[in-house]
Structure formats: structure tokens, C-alpha cells
Amino acid sequence: MPEEQKKFYITTPIYYVNDKPHIGHAYTTIAADVLARLHRQLGDDTWFLTGTDEHGAKIEAAAKKAGKNPQEFVDEVSAKYSLTWDQLGIAPDDFIRTTEDRHKKSVAIFLNNLKNSGKVYGGDYEGLYCVGHEAFIKESDLVDGVCPEHKTKPEKIKEKNWFFKLSDYQNILKEKIEKDEILIQPNTRKNEVLSFINQGLEDIAISRPNVKWGIPIPWDIDQTTYVWVEALFNYCSAVGYGIDQEKFQKYWPADLHMMGKEIIKFHCIIWPALLLAIEIEPPKRVFANGFFTVAGQKISKTIGNVIDPNDWVAKYGADAVRYFLLREVPFGEDGDVSEEKLKSRYNSDLANGLGNLFSRITNMVEKFLDGDVELTKSPRDLSEVSEAFYNLDFSHGLEVAWETVAWADGLIDKAKPWELHKTEPKKVKELLINLVAVLSELALKLSPIMPDAANKIREALEQEKITKPSAPLFPKID
Ligand code: MSP
């Protein structure tokens, strides 16, 4: 890991407010929060942005269905997002909403600059629009006449649009991605983007004449901006593009855009091309996580398996949910989660693992040393844990950390301090000093993932006199 202080600007997708957040949305946001916390710990000037995507046909329809006016509706759902993040211990530096004035103003400046670049032209468009995707889809992508993902029939659209010359960017994008100037990870996603580019890029419509709920095109106010175009721009508007130049210069380009694998084409093709057109540096890195299924099935309202992260937090606590999601599935791969799996990991890894180790150690320190231990350097090197987190290999980092939990438990079982202290009190003292140091180091390394528990452990160990805490760190759940 680099030593010098740097700036680190990290983002999540801005989430659609057609419905409240589920664990899939929480996944990417927790991972970004962990990285932000790690970079703050390393002393980097960190800026962590998340937010909500509030315009477009999909949101307009959801508001209508709820019988609310769009603004009232998006205010409510957006608040659910920020509240949920709070419950999960997610602490962004900024939360952008695309219905905010700061975003609308910045987008208008951006669109004018885009127009002035000469890469925008008017034309007619005929195609199939999937509202679920908020994108045009190809006839060949349909299965039995419906979008295979949203199970809805796309709208046949024939309209006048403003277009962006995406096709002009084929070679330059290819070069930047191949050279990792725009680093796309995992590598399979990079290959996917490159092969898509190699099939040839078509120009894209950047306006919609028949969608009212959106940001007007500054030079043609009868049209609104295509929702993906303005949504992508949140990464710039939030740090002050066109409005607070100093802040923008400080944080742009984004160091890391985090997202799910389904939206990499928007982020790795359209987004950098738009930026290149207005002569702004593209983002440095994009990392795509895989998709969760719940007990083997796609997360869907129709199936009825949508998990509200707040329910899990209420039962198991935020730290446990954060731990579970990042431990269960290697980051970047698809994987399956369920409450059964959460409960089983909670009991084995947290209640019987880390939590039990903490109470064992503090208990013995209280009993055999009257709470007196000096905090020393850990005899076990745990740098691999932070290095793994730094490289977004969360599950590996946690595995390594839990090897240390098992190691410490093993030391205690072997030494049997409850017997040894009668004959060799010095040895017991030495052992406990080492265990306290390891536990404290472990808590420090784990704090980006489980900030609350880490804090409790460190506070307990830093006390003048260590006493066994009155309540277990992770009470066992039956
Ligand atoms: N609004 C767009 C993004 C615009 S960004 C400029 C959007 N929103 S979304 O609400 O649909 O959120 C998509 C993101 O949520 C995914 O990219 C991913 O980060 C997360 N996930 C949603 N469902 C998920 C799973 N089932 N599994 C893992 N992540 C998932 O797309």
C-alpha cells in the first residue's frame, strides 16, 4: 500500500428511487464505505459519494402508481435510502440527489459544453425502449417479445432526439481501456467492455421529447435529458463541476467508481466518452461487483424475496450484516445470500469467534492480572488483512483475520491459563499481554468493516483497568 498522502474520490451508483433499497443496493454501498474508511485510516484525503437517481420515465411511472406527485414521491424514497445507509453504519461525505438544484445547474453547464464540442446533433430515432432499463434495447435481445430481465414489453418509440457522437470514441476508448488508463476490474469485465467496443459503437440519444420528469435540454426546453446521461454526470456535479471549480479540481478525476456488473457499459463507454468530449479526464478506475441471488433466486418483487437490509440490521446489527455480505461471496463474483447463511455465520464467526475471544481475553485479564496490561505491539503481523481490503478482496482479508482468531483461541486452549496461573503466573501474564496486543491490532484492521465492534474492543483494551464487558459483543442468536 502506498505511503504518501493522496486524495481518494470514491463513488457508488446513484440508486433509482422507484422503490426502497434492498440488500443488493446495500452491498455496493457497504463495500464503498469500507474502502472510504480504510483510505481515511491511511490518511488519504477521502471523498465518498453516494446518492439517488430521481428522474426519468421509470420514476415518473412509480410515482403515478403510488398516487403521488413525483417530487413528493422521490423525497420519500430518497430519505429511505439515506436512513438505511445510516442504519448500516455507512457514512458518505456527500449524498447527491438528481432533483437538487446544484445538480440541475451543473448538468445544464455540462450540456452546453457538450453541444459546443460539436459532438451533438439532432435526428430522428426509431427503436424499442425498455423503461425498466431506462435504455433502448435491440429486437434481438427480446425473449417472446418481452425484455428478459424486466418481463415487460418495450415501448416502440419514434421521436426527434439530440444525439451524441459516441461512435467517434471507439478507438480512443479502446486504447485507454487496453492500457488501463481507465482500469476496469475484475479483468473479465474489462474483456467484456472491450469486446463490446470491438463490435462497433453507435451514437446515442441524449434527450427524450416525451418524458416530462427530467432536466430540460438548455437549448431545446421541450425535451428532457436522457436520464442516464444526467445520472452519470452526478459524479461531477456533486464535486462542483461548473460551480465550485476549486472543489472540482481537488477531487476530479474519480479514483474509483463502484457498481454492479450490469451497468459497466454505461460507466466504461458512454461516461468516459462524454467526459472526453468536454475535455475532462475520464475516471481512473471502475470496479464491478457480482450479483446476489437470495436462496438461489434472483431478487425480485414478484418472487417476493426482496430483503430489506433494515430487517437484518434490527436482528443482527449493522456490523454483522456488513461482515456477512463481504465475507460470504468473493467480491466481484456472483453469489447467494440468505438469512439462514447470515445466522450461521453470525453464530460461528461472530458470537463464538471474535466475540467469544474478546470476552475470554478480557475475562482472564481481569481475573489473573487484576485488569492491568500494558498495550504493546502485536506479535502477529496483520498487514495482509488491510492489503486485501485495499485491493477489494474483502472475503480473503476476513479469512486471514479469522485465522488469527482461531490461532489466538488455540493458544489459550493449549496454555490453559486457568491452571497455569497457579504455577507460572509470569507465563500467563506474558501470554495475555500478547493476546491483548493481537486483539487490539485485529480490531484496528477490522474497523473499516465493523466499525462499531472494533471501537468497542479498542475502547475496552485501552482502559486503565481492563474489565470483562457486561454484555457480549455479539450475543448468540437461536
Ligand atoms: N440509477 C442507476 C445507476 C446510475 S449510476 C450513474 C441504477 N440504479 S439501481 O437502483 O438499479 O441500482 C443498481 C445497482 O445496485 C447495481 O449496479 C449494484 O450496485 C446494486 N445492485 C442491485 N441489485 C443487486 C444485486 N442483486 N446484487 C448485487 N448488487 C446489486 O442502476
CA 260 to ligand 1 center in whole angstroms? 6
Q: Is 61 in the pocket of ligand 1 (CB under 6 A)?
A: no
CA 71 to ligand 1 center in whole angstroms? 22
The average pLDDT across 82-105 equals 98
Q: Do 127 and 157 touch, CB atoms closer than 8 A?
A: yes
> Which is the closest atom of ligand 1 to the Cα of 262?
17
- The domain that contains 433 carries what CATH number? 1.10.730.10
Give the side-chain half-sphere CA count within 13 A for 294.
15
CA 16 to ligand 1 center in whole angstroms? 8
> Residue 262's closest CA among 237, 238, 228, 294?
228
- Testing ligand 1's pocket by substitution, the residue of 22, 27, 90, 336 carrying the most ligand atoms inside 8 A of its CB is 27
Asked if residue 173 belongs to a domain, the reply is no
> Residue 164's closest CA among 229, 250, 89?
229
> Which is the closest atom of ligand 1 to the Cα of 298?
26
Cα separation of 321 and 318, whole Å? 5
Asked if residue 271 belongs to a domain, the reply is no
Work out how many domains the chain is built from and give that number.
1
> Residue 163's closest CA among 201, 134, 194, 199?
201
Q: Is 53 in the pocket of ligand 1 (CB under 6 A)?
A: yes
Nearest-5° Cα angle at 373, 369 to 379: 120
> Which is the closest atom of ligand 1 to the Cα of 13?
5
CA 440 to ligand 1 center in whole angstroms? 36
Q: Is 337 in the pocket of ligand 1 (CB under 6 A)?
A: no
Q: Is 62 in the pocket of ligand 1 (CB under 6 A)?
A: no
Indicate the average pLDDT of the chain: 96
Q: Is 317 in the pocket of ligand 1 (CB under 6 A)?
A: no
pLDDT for 3 beyond 70: no
Asked if residue 106 belongs to a domain, the reply is no
> Residue 369's closest CA among 469, 440, 473, 464?
464
Share of the chain above pLDDT 90, in %: 93
Asked if residue 420 belongs to a domain, the reply is yes
- Predicted TM-score (pTM) above 0.85: yes
What is the predicted pLDDT for the residue at 296?
A: 86
pLDDT for 280 beyond 70: yes
CA 184 to ligand 1 center in whole angstroms? 17
pLDDT for 276 beyond 90: yes
Look up cell 428511487; give the residue: 17
pLDDT class of 301 with cuts at 50, 70, 90: confident
What is the predicted pLDDT for the residue at 344?
A: 98
What is the predicted pLDDT for the residue at 369?
A: 97
> Which is the closest atom of ligand 1 to the Cα of 53?
1
Cα separation of 196 and 105, whole Å? 33
Q: Is 25 in the pocket of ligand 1 (CB under 6 A)?
A: yes
Identify the helix (H) or strand (E) that includes residue 404.
helix 394-415
Q: Is 107 in the pocket of ligand 1 (CB under 6 A)?
A: no
Q: 159-211, pLDDT tens digit by residue? A: 999 999 999 999 999 999 999 999 999 999 999 999 999 999 999 999 999 99
Asked if residue 367 belongs to a domain, the reply is yes
Cα separation of 252 and 265, whole Å? 21
Q: Do 48 and 32 touch, CB atoms closer than 8 A?
A: yes
The average pLDDT across 333-344 equals 97
Order of strands, edge to edge, in the sheet holding 220-225?
Answer: 207-208, 220-225, 216-217
pLDDT class of 304 with cuts at 50, 70, 90: confident
- Testing ligand 1's pocket by substitution, the residue of 85, 227, 262 carrying the most ligand atoms inside 8 A of its CB is 262
pLDDT class of 303 with cuts at 50, 70, 90: confident
What is the predicted pLDDT for the residue at 4?
A: 67
What is the predicted pLDDT for the residue at 281?
A: 98
Share of the chain above pLDDT 70, in %: 99
Q: Ligand 1: which residue has its CA nearest to atom 20?
A: 25
CA 54 to ligand 1 center in whole angstroms? 14
CA 290 to ligand 1 center in whole angstroms? 10
> Which is the closest atom of ligand 1 to the Cα of 234?
6
For 413, which DSSP code? H
Q: Which domain holds residue 457?
A: 338-461
Q: 364-404, pLDDT tens digit by residue? A: 999 999 999 999 999 999 999 999 999 999 999 999 999 99
Q: Which residues contact 314 (CB under 8 A, 6 or more apart)?
A: none
What is the predicted pLDDT for the residue at 302?
A: 81
Q: Is 24 in the pocket of ligand 1 (CB under 6 A)?
A: yes
Asked if residue 28 belongs to a domain, the reply is no
Q: Is 14 in the pocket of ligand 1 (CB under 6 A)?
A: yes
pLDDT class of 2 with cuts at 50, 70, 90: low
CA 262 to ligand 1 center in whole angstroms? 8
pLDDT for 242 beyond 70: yes
Q: Is 235 in the pocket of ligand 1 (CB under 6 A)?
A: no
pLDDT for 293 beyond 70: yes
> Which is the closest atom of ligand 1 to the Cα of 28?
19
Cα separation of 80 and 34, whole Å? 21
Look up cell 433509482; give the residue: 16
